[in-house]
Amino acid sequence: MGRPAIEITEEILKKAELLSSHGHDQDQIAILLGMGKATFYEKKKKFPEFQDAITRGKVKGGAVVASKLMEAVQNGSVSAMIWYEKTRLGKSEKVNVESSGTVTHKHTAVSESIGLLRKWRERGGEVQSDSDSLPN
């Protein structure tokens, strides 16, 4: 014996819209409404008002988030500004790098440490003065 038939009532429509507005995905909405996935998707096809309620909820939830985001941007939140630019304006921190196959890199601190190590070895491992000592 299967589950009892689920009717798409005004109450179900309101719940679906509310759940969608709170950010639940369609699989979660199905579970929270007590439907299996197959039934949920079948009801969406059969009852356009059901699909409309879910879409309406998603748009309303997105509008609340967008308003709060814009409020944070206007209040000077740098992280909100960066997030907005990346997600809404398509900006990115990606860097395109082209290479001929040869990569060279000089790091001053490493070069200095290597030079000190060479001096230290040339002296037989003895430190001559504070200026010649290796960094800790």
Tell which residue, 30, 45, 28, 39, has the closest CA to residue 5: 39
Asked whether 14 and 53 are in contact (CB, 8 A), the reply is yes
Question: What is the rounded distance in angstroms from the CA atom of residue 86 to the CA atom of residue 76?
Answer: 16
The residue type of 18 is L
77 is a domain residue: no
Q: For residue 136, what pLDDT is reported?
A: 44
Tokens of 106: 């000089």
86 is a domain residue: no
Question: What is the rounded distance in angstroms from the CA atom of residue 41 to the CA atom of residue 114?
Answer: 66
Q: For residue 53, what pLDDT is reported?
A: 98
49 is a domain residue: yes
Maximum alpha-carbon separation in the chain = 90
Q: For residue 85, what pLDDT is reported?
A: 86
Q: For residue 27, what pLDDT is reported?
A: 96
Coil, strand or helix at 41 = helix
- R_g (Cα) of the chain, nearest Å: 31
pLDDT in tens, the chain (136 residues): 666 788 999 999 999 999 999 999 999 999 999 999 999 999 999 999 999 999 999 999 999 999 999 999 999 999 988 888 888 787 777 777 777 777 665 556 556 666 666 776 777 765 455 554 444 4
Q: For residue 93, what pLDDT is reported?
A: 74
58 is a domain residue: yes
Q: How many domains does the chain have?
A: 1
Residues spanned by the domain of 28: 10-64
73 is a domain residue: no
60 is a domain residue: yes
